[in-house]
Amino acid sequence: MSTAAHADSHDDHDHKPHGWRRWVYATNHKDIGTMYLVFSGCMFFVGGMFAEGIRAELFKPGMQLFDPQFFNSLTTMHGLVMIFGVIMPSFVGLANWMIPMQVGAPDMALPRLNNFSFWILPFAFTLLLSSFFVPGGAPAGGWTMYPPLTLQTGASFPMLIFSIHLMGASSILGAINVIVTIMNMRAPGMTLLKMPMFVWSWLITAYLLIAVMPVLAGAVTMQLTDHYFGTTFFTAAGGGDPVMFQHIFWFFGHPEVYIMILPAFGIVSEIIPTFSRKPLFGYEAMVYAIASIAFLSFIVWAHHMFTVGMPLAAQLFFMLSTMLIAVPTGVKIFNWAATMWHGSLSFEPPMLFALAFVFLFSIGGFSGLMLAMVPADYQYQDTYFVVAHFHYVLVTGALFGIMAAIYYWLPKWTGHMYDLKLGTWHFWLSTIFVNVLFFPQHFLGLAGMPRRIPDYAVQFTDWNMVSSIGAFGFGLSQFLFLYLIIKCVRGGVRADSRVWEGAHGLEWELTSPPPFHSWSTPPSAAVIAHGAEH
């Protein structure tokens, strides 16, 4: 073999795959993280389109655009796509990008499993979304999939169940990978209580995922056997109990809510210290607060079910344990406030989104306390008050956390600085419109407007119009975000020392610092002096 031919064959074996192969066969944590984020971005616009359809129908009373069955399909698919297709993959993408770098690992522990856990998702959502085109239409029983509602959806039912299984498998594999990476691949000297907060929040989230995703899988499999194999787990006529499904579902569903918010807590705990130029106040308390929230999330599930007729003792237990979650959550809020106290604050887009998160997530927390009260919950149950509550938690909570993270880390990922003015515009438009969208829904719910209905009494018209205008404004402002990201990835101003040494550059030195020898560069004299002062 000639030297040139040998060199060619050597190149064929050793050079990195490029083009489509780079992505299909990806085992690099950054490439896989990017694919997760791009996938969740696409799903964000799909799920958002469903939401805009819902708000367009509700702009005024009467049936305008859709028949009731299709409207119910929209609410169902909006919930499933946003939860399993947007929030969770976004956080897994951020975990893939950041956890190896934050713990000093060369990659995720199980790179091929990582590739597999991503590629399950496009197939799962192709299956789910194609259910719109089968006889009987898309599932219309709500994202909670309560029997007997879900059983009536015809041919889309098995597609729904199988896609849920695939999403669950993807989540479990991703969670295993996160745990193994964090536990086995930390840099020398990085003990657990020296890890950045984002890593801690994901470690705890990963354990939650492994604990609860199989519970959902069991519940939907029992529904499948009820439908096709003659079992009667949830069929009252055969001695089954539809309320049992609710218990099993919410035993998954409530920790799931915390799976979607804990990584955002970690992100905000990284951003606020950076832009306050101060170490995080009460680092260990924050870690224990996240762990407490995760533990308590397992014993509060039936607060979603106060109206099913459970015994008074059970109602009392679930009411009190739900209110108990406010304690560690309050610890986190106060610690973020204390971090900013006497800090040297600067208000770039990541900090703006983190601050909006703290304020608006707290609104969702307070309305959650209201919903925890059994006698009051009888009035709120299944009204738009509940819709307002969980959207304050999941949009201004989880979604704003994701946006904050993208603004925070995008210059590190791309080497380019995004347009700060456009980022600030995106923040203000999103924050104003998200409140115009969801705050009036509290009033609608308190006035008695039920959720998941396509038509309503005329006295609810005004606030519905306001809410729908907010929805259209919020949706349109996300195209600005898309433009900003594409512009940043394609080029623009190089991320200079301002990014690395300015507001963004203090990240490694201020949030739970690793030991000196694992810093890529020694800390500056100013930072050491700053630490000595405090």
Is 520 designated active site?
no
Which of 256, 270, 348, 509 is labelled catalytic? 256
Which of 55, 227, 304, 426 is labelled catalytic? 304
Apex 201 CA angle, 198 and 204, nearest 5: 150
HSE of 302, CA atoms in CB hemisphere, 13 A: 21
The identity of residue 35, as a single letter, is M
Which of 119, 143, 146, 425 is labelled catalytic? 143
Which of 194, 451, 452, 487 is labelled catalytic? 451
Which of 156, 321, 329, 477 is labelled catalytic? 329
Query: At 383, phi and psi to the nearest 5?
Result: -110, 175
Q: What is the DSSP letter of 518?
A: G
Is 258 designated active site?
yes
Which of 73, 163, 171, 511 is labelled catalytic? 171
Is 256 designated active site?
yes
Full DSSP string of 404-454 = HHHHHHHHHHHSB---HHHHHHHHHHHHHHHHHHHHHHHHHHHTTPBSS-S
Which of 23, 60, 107, 416 is labelled catalytic? 107
Is 254 designated active site?
yes
Which of 165, 254, 442, 504 is labelled catalytic? 254
Which of 55, 278, 303, 504 is labelled catalytic? 303
HSE of 61, CA atoms in CB hemisphere, 13 A: 9
Is 78 designated active site?
yes
Is 303 designated active site?
yes
Place of tokens 């770039």: 348
Is 2 designated active site?
no
Place of tokens 């949706």: 475
Is 241 designated active site?
no
Which of 269, 430, 467, 468 is labelled catalytic? 269
3-state secondary structure of 477: helix
Is 8 designated active site?
no
Residues 356 and 431 sit within 8 Å (Cβ to Cβ) = yes
Secondary structure of 306-340 as H, E, C letters? HHHCCCHHHHHHHHHHHHHCHHHHHHHHHHHHHHH
Which of 36, 52, 57, 78 is labelled catalytic? 78
Is 107 designated active site?
yes
Residues 263 and 399 sit within 8 Å (Cβ to Cβ) = no
d(CA 80, CA 174): 19
The identity of residue 389, as a single letter, is H
Which of 153, 170, 431, 512 is labelled catalytic? 170
**Of 474, 391, 403, 401, residue with least CA distance to 82:** 391
Residues 197 and 102 sit within 8 Å (Cβ to Cβ) = no
d(CA 88, CA 212): 14
Is 380 designated active site?
no
d(CA 258, CA 205): 8
Write out the catalytic residue numbers: 78, 107, 143, 170-171, 254, 256, 258, 269, 303-304, 329, 332, 451
